Amino acid sequence: MTIQIFCVGGTIDKIYFDAKSKYEVGAPAIGWLLDELSIHFNYQVTSLMAKDSLDMTDADRAEIRKAVESTDSDRIVITHGTDTMPETARALHGIVGKTVVLTGALAPAIFRNSDAAFNVGGALAAVQSKPAGVYIVMNGEVFDGNLVRKDVAANRFVRLD
């Protein structure tokens, strides 16, 4: 089994240049995050785009869905910005026979106190253990991709009732 990892940008990949918080979405952070770990499974990283999730369009979500549907892997992790991650999860709903897990970070991976490595680890565990479906993994929780939203005020994800 090879886990397909698609990177689409977001905070996890942001690089800041100055104290005024000017940034750009850089190369996928997951490559160096995984290089630092003792990984014992096969994975492939593909960068689909480098966008802040607030800039994501329906066409971008269609491109992500096409990539998920087209890959031979039935285990897919997507690193994504957190602001519109639930919208992308819902756009992937209905893909049959594949386990898809979206994750990201509330602080860039290059920051010492980033949650990026923790979230990526959770996503990799979830993609190997959950049945087919679409999920979001953030901060130690696994959410059904259709039943989650980002609580911006609390800066965390919450289940929808």
> Residues forming the annotated binding site for substrate?
53, 82-83
Six token digits for residue 131: 């049945």
Tell me the torsion sign for CA atoms 39, 125, 143, 132.
positive
Q: What are the tens digits of pLDDT across the range 70-117?
A: 999 999 999 998 899 999 999 999 999 999 999 988 776 666 777 788
Structural domains in the chain (count): 1
Conformation bin of residue 10: beta by default, left when phi > 0, alpha when psi is -120 to 50 = left
- Residue 147 CB neighbour total at 10 angstroms: 14
pTM of the model: 0.88
Catalytic positions are 11
13 has a pLDDT exceeding 80: no
Measure the CA–CA gap between 76 and 59, rounded to whole angstroms: 20
Q: What are the tens digits of pLDDT across the range 28-52?
A: 677 767 777 778 889 999 999 988 8
Query: At 73, which CATH number?
Result: 3.40.50.1170
18 has a pLDDT exceeding 60: no
Phi, psi of 117 (to 5 degrees): -65, -40
- Residue 36 CB neighbour total at 10 angstroms: 8
State which residues form the domain around 98. 2-159
pLDDT in the model for residue 111: 67
